[in-house]
Amino acid sequence: MKINNMKILNLYACLGGNRYKWNEVKEDIEVTAVERDEELANLYQERFPNDTVIVADAHQYLLDHYKEFDFIWSSPPCPTHSRLVTSNKNKIKMKYPDMKLYQEIIFLDNFFKGKYVVENVIPFYTPLIPSKKRGRHLYWTNFNLPNDINERPAVGIGQGVNEVKRLCEFHDYDFYKYKGKQPTNKIARNLVDYEAGKTIFETALGIIRKKDIKQTELF
């Protein structure tokens, strides 16, 4: 049984680092990307013209539309979880960790019937829900991730003046196109390595295909 027109929800899509190579894995996918920053949403649409891009609150969109999709990737905002919070505690206005991260994990794990990925940084505290650490990121999934997700060693992060330039080369994208309110280096740092995104999608798709083959054999 072949899955056609697989429907994917890409939440907090930013510039689609995770999504960049998904079409190499499966051509017939329908991706809906949700991004609150209108400037980022426009650049994402330019980069992925066949995707449906929605400027909205990704957290609420998930709650309202999760039943419409086969695969969901969510990358909630990470600043309040980052280890930079502790190193910069005397320089920044302190905020509570944003619990939307854990709300989405709990919600997806209990109510979503497809495969999901929630991605975030390694936090300054012990994660409240067990996760899978791969490279610089933590992942919560309802399928097993391989130990090696082909994530390339990050280059340029935290290297001053040339940081954004190096990350442009690393992610194959010109971050200087962004003219919005967020710091350009922050956006460049936040992108998931596209090779990791490809491997994770391949893993999820392989599990979905095996499940469908078994269902076909049953009938």
Ordered by where they begin, the domains of the chain are 6-218 (3.40.50)
Identify which of 4, 30, 16 has the alpha carbon closest to the alpha carbon of residue 172: 16
Identify which of 27, 24, 12, 121 has the alpha carbon closest to the alpha carbon of residue 75: 12
Q: How many degrees, rounded to 5, is the angle at CA 168 between CA 167 and CA 171?
A: 75
Question: CA–CA separation, 16 vs 32, rounded Å?
Answer: 11
Q: Note down pLDDT in tens along the chain; length 219 residues.
A: 444 689 999 999 999 999 999 999 999 999 999 999 999 999 999 999 999 999 999 999 999 999 999 999 999 988 877 877 777 776 778 889 889 999 999 999 999 999 999 999 999 999 999 999 998 899 999 999 999 999 998 765 666 668 899 999 999 999 999 999 999 998 998 899 999 999 999 999 987 656 555 533 433
Rounded to two decimals, what is the model's pTM?
Answer: 0.89
